Every structure is written in structure tokens, then in C-alpha cells.
């Protein structure tokens, strides 16, 4: 696995961290394309600015997922670019059968909480309101169950008494930028095996 694609819906700071790691040689992968469901995503501009292919693909009429005919177009585009590994980086849609079947075991996601705690959306606020003393981020394989696939890496940050959802999100994001390229490197190198739910480095 060497060719990766990044799917992003918005700001693209994780994409930026991935690109930086490729450019400085710490992530040994080729970024075949960046795909967004949002024409105005900053992620697309970041990709273009660094000379990578940036594509907007019509997401269709649904807000939180892609109807099969639209998702099939995502699959076709990824296959045309010989993508081995799909990296979701703030791609705000639930992945369904066409993509899951075509890229089974070859889709990663980054989530801004320590799964299995706080799956879903607005999770930095939820972690703060719950009163946990530590939170963090998780890179995991994407399966049919949302935010529940085998975990590749996690990073932990403290939750401080004077945190707001924004300050906690910023502390977690910093760890996301460090952790996601590392996790991608593990998977593209092929130096791992999966036992049950456990991703074990070899």
C-alpha cells in the first residue's frame, strides 16, 4: 500500500499535517488525490497549493451520507487514481456499502476523542460536559459500524478545569496532526496484523 487519498469536508488541517509529513519524508506514501464533498473546502485549496490533485465530487441530495450512485462515483475516482488506502480527515459523511466493499480494510478515519468513548459529533463538548479528565484522538479502521473499527493509534491529552470545547479541541487537534501521519505510516508499511479487534505492529 503506497498510494493514499484523503477525503476531507472542511478546514483540512489534518490534510495539511499529512502533506507536511509526505513532503519532509517522514510519511512514506504518495498522495494520489484529495477529494471533497464540499466545493468550498479549504482542504481542496491546500491540496492545490501543494501541487496535489484536488477534486470535488457531487455528494448528492443527502446531508450526512452519499446515495449509492454518488458513492459509486467516489469509488470509481479512487480506483482510477490507483488508491490503496483511503484516509478520512474531517470527512463528515457516514461511509456505506459501495466504498466499504471496494476498500474493505483500507479506509482509516481520525476521531477527536478516545474511542469507544464519545463516538459521533460535537465530541469535545460531550467529553467536557461528561467530566472526563483525559481525552484525545483515535485513528481507526472504518467499518459498517460508525466510529467502531479496529484502533490503529490513540493519543491522550488532559482536560483542564478552565477548558472550553474550543480550547480542548485545539489541544486534541495538535495531537491529531502528530498521530494521523504516524498511523498512516504503519498501515502503508504493511508492518501490522489484526487479531480480533487488535491492530498489532509487526
Contact 81, 33 (CB under 8 A): yes
Contact 34, 6 (CB under 8 A): yes
Supply the minimum distance, in Å, between the C-beta of residue 89 and ligand GAR.
5
**Is residue 113 helix, strand or coil?**
coil
Residues that bind ligand GAR (CB under 6 A): 8, 10-14, 89-90, 110-112, 173, 176
Q: Determine the Cα–Cα distance for residues 10 and 144; give it in Å rounded to an integer.
A: 23
For ligand GAR, the closer CB: 8 or 78: 8
For ligand GAR, the closer CB: 13 or 135: 13
Supply the minimum distance, in Å, between the C-beta of residue 106 and ligand GAR.
18
Pairing of strands 134-141, 107-111: antiparallel
For ligand GAR, the closer CB: 2 or 126: 126
Nearest Cα neighbor of 59 from 83, 22, 91 is 91
- What are the cell numbers at 20? 507536511
Supply the minimum distance, in Å, between the C-beta of residue 28 and ligand GAR.
21
Look up residue 118 and give its DSSP letter. Answer: S
For ligand GAR, the closer CB: 36 or 102: 36
**Which residue has the CB atom at the shortest distance from ligand GAR?**
90
Catalytic residue among 50, 111, 140, 177: 111
Pairing of strands 192-195, 151-158: unpaired
Look up residue 158 and give its DSSP letter. Answer: E
Active site annotation includes 50: no
- What are the cell numbers at 105? 480494510
Supply the minimum distance, in Å, between the C-beta of residue 44 and ligand GAR.
11
Active site residues: 111
Amino acid at each position: 500500500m503506497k498510494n493514499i487519498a484523503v477525503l476531507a469536508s472542511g478546514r483540512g488541517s489534518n490534510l495539511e499535517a499529512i502533506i507536511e509529513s509526505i513532503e519532509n519524508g517522514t510519511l512514506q506514501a504518495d498522495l494520489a488525490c484529495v477529494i471533497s464533498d464540499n466545493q468550498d473546502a479549504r482542504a481542496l485549496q491546500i491540496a492545490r497549493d501543494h501541487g496535489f490533485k484536488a477534486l470535488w465530487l457531487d455528494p448528492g441530495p443527502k446531508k450526512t451520507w452519499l446515495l449509492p450512485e454518488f458513492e459509486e462515483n467516489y469509488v470509481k475516482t479512487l480506483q482510477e487514481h490507483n488508491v490503496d488506502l483511503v484516509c478520512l480527515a474531517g470527512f463528515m459523511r457516514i461511509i456505506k456499502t459501495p466504498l466499504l466493499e471496494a476498500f474493505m480494510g483500507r479506509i482509516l478515519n481520525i476521531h477527536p476523542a478516545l474511542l469507544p468513548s464519545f463516538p459521533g459529533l460535537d465530541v469535545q463538548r460531550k467529553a467536557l460536559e461528561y467530566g472526563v479528565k483525559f481525552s484525545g484522538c483515535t485513528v481507526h479502521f472504518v467499518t459498517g459500524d460508525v466510529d467502531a473499527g479496529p484502533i490503529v493509534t490513540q493519543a491522550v491529552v488532559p482536560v483542564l478545569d478552565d477548558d472550553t470545547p474550543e480550547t480542548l479541541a485545539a489541544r486534541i487537534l495538535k495531537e491529531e496532526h502528530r498521530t494521523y501521519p504516524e498511523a498512516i505510516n504503519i498501515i502503508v508499511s504493511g508492518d501490522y496484523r489484526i487479531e480480533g479487534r487488535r491492530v498489532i505492529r509487526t
